[in-house]
Structure 1
């Protein structure tokens, strides 16, 4: 029996994504003046689409059939490098204004996740105490 359901797993994965995005944005900001540095981004949408197409439940009628599971996926996101643009004459493509707004947006997202986890634990604590 799974005591917590998939909620905590989903929230944990979301926190991992937000942490990776924060780390990536911080690296971009730190390297805003580094010659030939290319901005990186954490993408989730492409990985989600890939997972949806590869996580089909299928009945295997023969042991030689390929299984339809995505147990090999470790993260629900991936880090990509943007090599298509150049904002500075030194080959750098970090847009500091964009990075700062992404950082603020990611911090709000992260705080929302933490608040949701705290709410879940508060509910569990209330159940354990018998509704008090």
Structure 2
């Protein structure tokens, strides 16, 4: 018997994703002036592949293959061949700040949802009073 249901597991996975995305965005912002730096991003597909505990079957060439190796990194590089700055850096600070703000809002909402679940559990343990 499990003390926590699948909702806690899903919320934990979403929080892990949001934390990994926050780290990548923070690195991008910190390296906005670093020559040759390529912006990092977190791909949901990679996280799903790492966390997925089910078998998938692709029946069409356009389907996403979720078979991934355990231990693969959450962080992937994006836009290798692009360069927004003369020094080879491809960090768009406005885009990164926008994504960071959106990610922080999502993270806060997930934390509040998790807190609500714990408060419900605490209420049950106290006998509903």
TM-score (norm. length: structure 2): 0.79
Deviation of 1:47 (Å) = 4.8
Which whole-Å CA distance do the structure 2 matches of 1:51 and 1:17 have between them? 10
Q: Does 2:74 match 1:78?
A: yes
**2:30 equivalent in structure 1:** 30
Provide the aligned length of Structure 1 versus Structure 2. 117
Q: Larger radius of gyration, structure 1 or 2?
A: 1
The two structures, once aligned, show a CA RMSD in angstroms of 2.5
Unaligned runs of 5+ in 2: 57-66
Check 1:31–1:101 CA distance in 2 against 1; reply closer, same or farther (3 A cut): same
Distance in 1 separating the partners of 2:70 and 2:14: 15
Deviations 1:70-114 (A, max 9, x none): 8x6357x72111202110000000000000000000000100110
TM-score (norm 1): 0.78
Query: Which stretches in structure 1 are left out of the alignment for 5+ residues?
Result: 58-69
Which residue, 84, 89, 103 being the options, matches 2:86? 89
